[in-house]
Structure 1
Amino acid sequence: MSSSTEQHGVDEEFEHQPVPLSHRHSLSSVAAVWFGFPMIITNAVFGGVIAYNLGFVRALIAISIGNAILLAYVGTLSFIAGNTGRNFALMAERTFGKKGYVITSGFLATVVVGWYAFQTGLTGTTVHASFGWNETATIVGATLLFTAVTYMGIRALSIVGMIAAPMYVILAVVALVMIGADHPLSSVLTYDGAGAASVMSFGGAVTLVVATFADSGTMTADFTRWARDGRNAVYATLTAFPFANMIAQLVGMVIVCAGAAAAPATSGGDFMPVLTSHGGALSVIALVFVFVNLGSVCTHCLYNGAVGWGRIAKRRMRTMTIALGLLGGVVAVAGVWSLFLNWLNLLGVFVPPIGAVIIVDQLMIRHYAVDEDVPNFRGTAFLAWACGAVVAICVHEMAPWFPEAVAGMLSGGLTYFALSQKSKRVVRREDGTANT
């Protein structure tokens, strides 16, 4: 049997080694994985919430800045992944250490499983509210479906993306046409937002945009390691940030700014009620859309978690998919969505510095392609991560006008660079090779 095929007849996922060049995928295949990921109802909700708080023009600037940050951040990590074929855990191992990576990789792999559980629970809630189906039974069915799709591996995620993205665009356009019949879309550009009732700063809005993909964006290597090279990996990322992500957010912004949102402060630009209120064939299509759309998020997050924990536990991705998929389903039934805002705050503060440290380490300090001994723990990397998180927390409390995610990235990366330079000078003095 081919070395690229496991005993059950599906492709090897390379959890414990870089993807060989002979097994890389085309640009369209890798791009489909990322392009279909942000095309979700959740992004319409977030886009609408931001517009409600800031008004259309300021919201547009905020999501543009947030997406530019994501492109630079995720694109750089993808460039490294495409050139090396390493997944996130393997990349983290080189920066944080042969044992230290367990902390960062395990943390992120757990966070994305939490998102998987939340979105699975949201599937049940949405279907129950729109169609009256039993919520618990729907969650159980969604758990089994999403776990089965993820089990098939990266190619299944590509197929899901090819379906989810066009479906989102088509149904979003249908919803906007329906809304335009009753609400003047010409007023969108002049919408000023909630004014004094606003609870979100401009910096908070940028952080929200970054935070929604801080986890899987940091773990982008799990997807883009399949690209033929670093350049193709960046191109694949570009389809998501800014294009797919901004399209999804703009839909929600237009709905809120047109005055068509039922609860703009909390549900933003959710357009599902528009589709389901007309009944008939459109409702059936909307039902399929819920499973495809939220299923795209769930399968991507579960894949990230399974690859990460597979590396840590020295197990196959598919073994961990079953275990984590079912565990997440149990958590979803328990009502994890009550912790939603806590997840976002956690992501905005603690996750971005991890990726920044990896970028500085593997692009500026030690080249990602260099074959060298890796220590069990690299203390400077952890210290820089902690510094980035502390600075982000301080910015959140004392300067909410500035994006805390950006503060965490910059401070974490700069701290690691400074510590690494100091370490090099110490080594040189000890070796007598330099007198600095």
Structure 2
Amino acid sequence: MPHNDHPLSEVPAQARKGFWSLTVVLFGFTFFTSTLWAGGSLGTAFSFGELMLVIALGNLLLGAYAATLAYIGCKSGLHTVLMGRFCFGEWGSKLSDVILAFTQIGWYAWGTATVAMILVETTALPEPMETGLMVVFGLAFCITAMIGYRGLDWLSRVAVPVMLMFILFTLYTGFGQAGGVGGLLDQEPTTEMGFGAALTIVIGTFVGGATLATNWTRFARTPRIAVIATLAAFVLGNGLMVLTGALGALVYHEVDIVHVMLAQGFVAMTVTMLLLNIWSTQDNTIYNFGVAGCNLLRTQRRRLVTVLGAVIGTGLAVLGMYDYLVPFLILLGTFIPPLGGVIMADFWLRHRGRYPALEHAQLASFHWPGLLAYGAGSVAAFYSPVVPPVIGVLAAALAYMVLTHSGRPRPIGTRNRP
């Protein structure tokens, strides 16, 4: 099927992309409004110096995690859920399909609700129109995702430069109104949050996206391109978004970045930023769902699965997903990173940095070392008193190493991929 983006196979050499194409798509993905909200929740809880440390450290850890998976994605030509077949088994990989698909649907619902609610607020439309706008945007956002990588690339080439201009202008305005560095250093926190919880929120803003960055880095021509583009997007791009939200909260004592921009007098800019920002991430998000759904259902019909995901996400938006952002981020920061830890350990330790060709691979139905290691990583992250995402990755990788070197449990039913 033309332009179907290889949902169940390796990306061939002739379909690979260059640095700028990959970078702009990844920046379009990481420039997401929810990251501004997450940054806002940090801005009221820390002094300026502590805030900068949280943002820098959190995004460096996130970027390192994403770049490692990006390298594997480029080397193998596979996306994350196909890698899951090697480390979790033919049927065991459905665990990662469900978890990752759920995270993307959650983001899609949140973004769809956000754009509808803010349009009503900023344009004085009747409040009952919110539901109708959610339905309209929920279905519209998936159009570029249905086209595939080309559609994401086209939209991002327009949205990313405009978004970057808006972000820098907002940062400059807020910096000036705060009275420069001296004014920012004088700001006092008005809420409380632990350092570990703050790092979890920074990493949680996009750890689901980082785990799925392979959906695009598998298109990179070289591992170098994949790693540099991913670091740029997840360290600089995501970092700018967190900083913008945090600075707005620190200066204006307002977590809602849209209210910050309205307070700065940027009504038209706010609406434009909102639409470009959310659309350029929503299409990536629902594209992720489509890829995970194809692996779950073992179907090549990516466009159909994408539309079904948009319908589900729109339904969740109408039902009130908007109110659960921060708990959702903490949930992601706990249970998603162990997936990446198992994938990385499996690629380097078991496959020595090179997967066999997927169409010829002999795959167990359930690869128990991977499934047990994921469980161990999730438990460690859930009960960790410090930085659960990092602990989850390390614990899962360590558990996998121990399980694969201490005698593997007998797999259930080995067979070829269908």
Confirm or deny a common fold (TM above 0.5). Answer: yes
How far, CA to CA, are the matches of 2:343 and 2:46 in structure 1?
33
Q: State whether structure 2 residue 117 is matched by structure 1 residue 131.
A: no
Q: Kindly report which structure 2 residues correspond to 1:353-432, keeping only aligned pairs within 5 A, or say none.
A: 353-371=338-356, 372-395=361-384, 399=385, 402-423=386-407
C-alpha contact (below 8 Å) 1:142/1:291 kept by paired residues: no
Distance between the aligned counterparts of 1:172 and 1:297, measured in 2? 16
Distance change (3 Å), C-alpha of 1:112 and 1:370: closer
Q: Measure how far apart 1:108 and its partner are.
A: 0.8
Conserved in 2, the CA contact under 8 Å of 1:44 and 1:252? Answer: yes
Change in Cα spacing, 1:53 to 1:285, as seen in structure 2 (3 Å) is closer
Q: Secondary structure at the match of 1:374?
A: strand
Q: Give, in whole Å, the separation in 2 of the partners of 1:29 and 1:127.
A: 31
Contact 1:43 1:248 in 2 (8 A): yes
Q: How many correspondences in the alignment? A: 402
Residue aligning to 1:434:
none
Paired AA for residue 313 in structure 2: G
1:380–1:251 Cα change, 3 Å: same
* TM score, norm. by length of structure 2: 0.90
Distance 2:122 2:54 in 1: 31
Aligned-partner SS, 1:15: coil
Does the CA contact (< 8 Å) of 2:174 and 2:247 recur in 1? no
How many Å apart are 1:360 and its aligned residue? 0.6
CA displacement, residues 129-175 of structure 1 (integer Å, 9 cap, x when unaligned): 21123211221221122011211111221233222322222223333
1:330, 1:69 → 2: CA distance?
Answer: 34
Whether the 8 Å contact between 1:54 and 1:202 is mirrored in structure 2 is no
- Tell me the residue number matched to 1:204: 197
Please state how far the C-alpha of 1:191 moved relative to its aligned partner.
4.2
- Matches of 1:193 and 1:365 in 2, distance apart? 50
The correspondence for 1:190, drawn from 185, 195, 198, is: 185
Secondary structure, counterpart of 1:54 in structure 2: coil
Q: 1:384 to 1:180 in 2, by over 3 A?
A: closer
Alignment of structure 1 residues 226-305 onto 2, 5 Å:
226-257=219-250, 259-261=251-253, 263-264=254-255, 267=256, 270=257, 272-276=258-262, 283-305=267-289
Q: 2:136 aligns with which of 114, 125, 141?
A: 141
Counterpart among 111, 115, 118 of residue 119 in structure 1: 111
Deviations 1:30-78, CA, capped at 9 Å, x for gaps: 1111112222332222223213212111111112111111122111111
- 1:84 alignment partner, one of 76, 81, 84: 76
Alignment check: 8 A CA contact 1:39 1:164 kept: no
| 2:44 matches 1:60 | no
- Conserved in 2, the CA contact under 8 Å of 1:18 and 1:84? yes
Q: Render the CA deviation track for 1:78-107: whole Å, top value 9, x for unaligned.
A: 101101111112111111001110111222
* Paired position in structure 1 for 2:416: none
Q: Secondary structure at the match of 1:376?
A: strand
1:196-242 Cα offsets, whole Å, 9 max, x none, are x41x1111111111111111211111111111122211112012121
**Cα gap change, 1:224 to 1:114, in 2 (>3 Å):** same
User: Is 2:148 the counterpart of 1:164?
Assistant: no
Letter in 2 for 1:164: A
Kept in 2, the 8 Å contact 1:207–1:404? The answer is: yes
State the distance in 1 between where 2:66 and 2:36 align: 21
Amino acid at match of 1:340: L
Counterpart of 2:313 (choices 325, 328, 331) is: 328
Distance 2:185 2:247 in 1: 11
Distance 2:262 2:62 in 1: 33
* Runs of at least 5 residues in structure 1 that lack an aligned partner in the other structure: 428-436
AA partner of residue 389 (structure 1): S
User: Which entry has the higher C-alpha Rg, 1 or 2?
Assistant: 1
Does the CA contact (< 8 Å) of 2:143 and 2:283 recur in 1?
no
- For 1:418 and 1:192, locate their aligned partners in 2 and report how far apart those are by CA, in whole Å: 48
For residues 249 and 264 of structure 2, what CA distance do their matches in structure 1 show?
20
Does structure 2 retain, via aligned residues, the 8 Å contact 1:88–1:219?
A: yes
Contact 1:40–1:168 (CA under 8 A) maintained in structure 2: no
Residue 311 of structure 1 aligns with which residue?
295
**CA separation of 1:51/1:285 partners in 2, compared to 1, >3 Å: closer, same or farther?**
closer
User: Secondary structure of 1:375's partner?
Assistant: strand
Deviations along 1:283-323, whole A, 9 cap, x unmatched?
Answer: 33432321111112211110100111012213321111111
Give the Cα separation in 1 of the matches to 2:188 and 2:204. 22
The 3 A distance-change label for structure 1 pair 419 and 41 is same
